[in-house]
């Protein structure tokens, strides 16, 4: 579904790097698109043609294993960029992106951003910073898998998801997806949720998770890391 209304395009961080002429061109080239929950935004190993800025919503990036199971490697929320592979010519997407909830994204041709990067040093620096941030985040996630037990990883993800979904909305996520984020079995994820519920850190209502004691979750993380 395409959305033609481009009002408010100045809220995107990238547009602040553009001249007035470039900004007009950016508005002409970009478009808003709505993806329903579970809908694929782009697929792994397909030609990377577009860069996406999440306007509102949550997107999971997944990779498929040899046995056909999906592993979530990243969650992206409002104002984050996905599909950075598209900036370089002849690249392929290295993962599959799916909307975790109804999500609106700003779609920009990767070739256009590639062209802008050559003409505008601020855009080039901005994109390099985003690539660097993605690498740092990936390295931190690898270290967490190696050094943090599932209980601590759960606490961290619940805090992040609570911020993304909103405290009033509650976290509506499949237990399989939550287990994938933790890198553990579904049964383990379910058991940890039960423990957190008994400790009055969370509540579960109609399959939604509500964080009711964020300080308690932060304390768990702090005690483990110190």
The reply to whether the predicted model has a pTM over 0.85 is yes
Give pLDDT tens digits for 152-179.
999 999 999 998 887 778 999 989 999 9
The bridge status of strand 103-109 relative to strand 31-35 is: antiparallel
**And the tokens for 164?**
């993304």
Domains of the chain: 2-142 (2.60.120.10), 148-225 (1.10.10.10)
Give strand ranges (E) for 19-102. 31-35, 40-42, 50-56, 59-64, 70-76, 81-82, 96-99
What proportion of the chain, given as a percentage, has pLDDT over 70?
96
Give pLDDT tens digits for 95-141.
999 999 999 999 999 999 999 999 999 999 999 999 999 899 888 88
Cα–Cα distance measured from residue 127 to residue 115, given in angstroms and rounded to the nearest whole number:
12
Query: Per-residue pLDDT for 4 more than 50?
Result: no
Dihedral over alpha carbons 103, 104, 106, 111 (to 10 degrees): 40
Cα–Cα distance measured from residue 193 to residue 212, given in angstroms and rounded to the nearest whole number:
13
């Amino acid at each position: 579904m395409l959305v033609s209304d481009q009002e408010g395009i100045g809220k995107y961080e990238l547009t602040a790097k553009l001249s007035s002429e470039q900004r007009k061109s950016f508005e002409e080239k970009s478009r808003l698109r709505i993806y329903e929950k579970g809908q694929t935004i782009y697929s792994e190993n397909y030609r990377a043609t577009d860069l996406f800025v999440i306007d509102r919503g949550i997107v999971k990036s997944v990779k498929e294993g040899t046995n056909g199971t999906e592993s979530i490697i990243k969650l992206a929320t409002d104002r984050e960029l996905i599909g950075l592979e598209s900036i370089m010519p002849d690249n392929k997407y290295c993962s599959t992106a799916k909307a975790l909830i109804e999500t609106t994204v700003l779609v920009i041709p990767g070739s256009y951003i590639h062209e802008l990067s050559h003409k505008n040093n601020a855009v080039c620096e901005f994109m390099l910073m985003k690539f660097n941030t993605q690498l740092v985040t990936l390295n931190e996630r690898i270290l967490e898998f190696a050094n943090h037990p599932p209980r601590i990883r759960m606490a961290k993800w619940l805090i992040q998801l609570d911020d993304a979904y909103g405290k009033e909305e509650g976290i509506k996520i499949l237990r399989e997806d939550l287990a994938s984020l933790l890198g553990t079995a579904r049964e383990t994820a379910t058991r940890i949720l039960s423990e957190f519920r008994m400790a009055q850190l969370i509540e579960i209502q109609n399959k939604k998770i509500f964080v009711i004691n964020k300080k308690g979750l932060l304390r768990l993380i702090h005690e483990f890391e110190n």
